[in-house]
Amino acid sequence: MLITYLKLLMTAIFWGGTFISGRMLAESVPPFSAAFFRFLIAAACLYVLVVRREGILPRLGRQQVLPVALLGLLGVFAYNVLFFNGLKLITAGRASIIIANNPIVISLFSALFFKESLSLTKVVGILISVAGAVIAISGGDPLALFAGGIGIGDLYIFGCVLSWSAYTLIGKRVMRDLSPLAAVSHSAGVGVLALLIPACMEGMPAAVPGYSPADWGNLAYLGLFGTVLGFVWYYEGVRVIGPSRASLFINFVPISAIGLAHIILKEPVSVSLLVGGALVITGVTLNHLANSGVCGFKSKVRV
């Protein structure tokens, strides 16, 4: 169990690093092209890895084709379309605070579709964890992020929350028949095919020769750490501890992104980051205690 939590924490750090790599790529590689190469690199590595680990590339049964296609279309293609369109209209901080609602939406959908129990302690843990992410992202003034009201950009980013929640929960169903590695491999393959057309429309074929070594290094990081290790470890966590608890670690992503920005981009670390990080850790701990039966609380997962 400890290894699972450590992998989920490292996944959050890797995903936090994708914001840094993405920021470095922004001036030279358009968003769909960056996403395409990220998942092209990832899919190639994942397919090699799954063959080496499982001895054969798992073939999809007739009943698995649609769910796996949905994983690629929702978790890879749709997420990127909504995310990049949303960021054209609202700030990254505002987008991050909306994405921090992932654990709440996943937990609610888990309770609705998977009959996963939600104890009072678990709910409190989720709310505290989300509150910590909000404080860290907003600099201690959450209301300021919503001063301008809700617009189409906010709806795009909330669409990211829905697409990632669907990706998480559909993945739990898919992993009844496929390993996490096989599920991520096939979804990445679908995502590459779906991203090819918009990437070409951005002028990707003509632009590739102009990519710098730094560009390729960032693309490699996005593909290998942000996708191969990140997605596989996240799905392993979903399978071992359930989607609600695994999704809570998503709240560490903005925390790690801000921390890495301080180390790599020399951005200052604020008090709100430290307070937010403490609240996130508290929320994750409460959620774990609720599921392990400590202090009289016990949340049974019925799937």
- The pLDDT tens digits of the residues spanning 23-44 come to 788 778 888 898 899 889 999 9
**Residue 127 located in a structural domain:** no
- Structural domain boundaries enclosing 75: 2-114+145-250
Say what percent of the chain tops pLDDT 90.
Answer: 19
**Residue 287 located in a structural domain:** no
Helix segments in the chain, DSSP class H: 2-25, 31-54, 62-71, 79-87, 92-99, 102-113, 120-138, 142-145, 152-174, 180-201, 204-207, 213-223, 230-241, 243-248, 252-264, 271-292
Rg of the chain over Cα atoms, rounded to whole angstroms, equals 19
**Residue 170 located in a structural domain:** yes
pLDDT at 211 over 60: yes
**Residue 42 located in a structural domain:** yes
Whole-model pTM? 0.75
**Residue 74 located in a structural domain:** yes
Q: Please compute the mean of the pLDDT values over residues 77-101 and round it to a whole number.
A: 75
pLDDT at 297 over 50: no
The pLDDT-based confidence of 191 (bands split at 50, 70, 90) is very high
**Residue 128 located in a structural domain:** no
**Residue 258 located in a structural domain:** no
Which of residues 175 and 214 earns the better pLDDT score? 214
Domain count, the chain: 1
- Angle between helix 252-264 and 2-25 (nearest 10): 50
pLDDT of residue 236: 82
Of the listed ranges 5-14, 72-81, 276-285, the least confidently predicted one is: 276-285
CB atoms within 10 A of CB 15: 23
**Residue 261 located in a structural domain:** no
Q: Please tell me the distance from the alpha carbon of residue 183 to that of residue 195, in angstroms, as a whole number.
A: 18
pLDDT at 112 over 70: yes
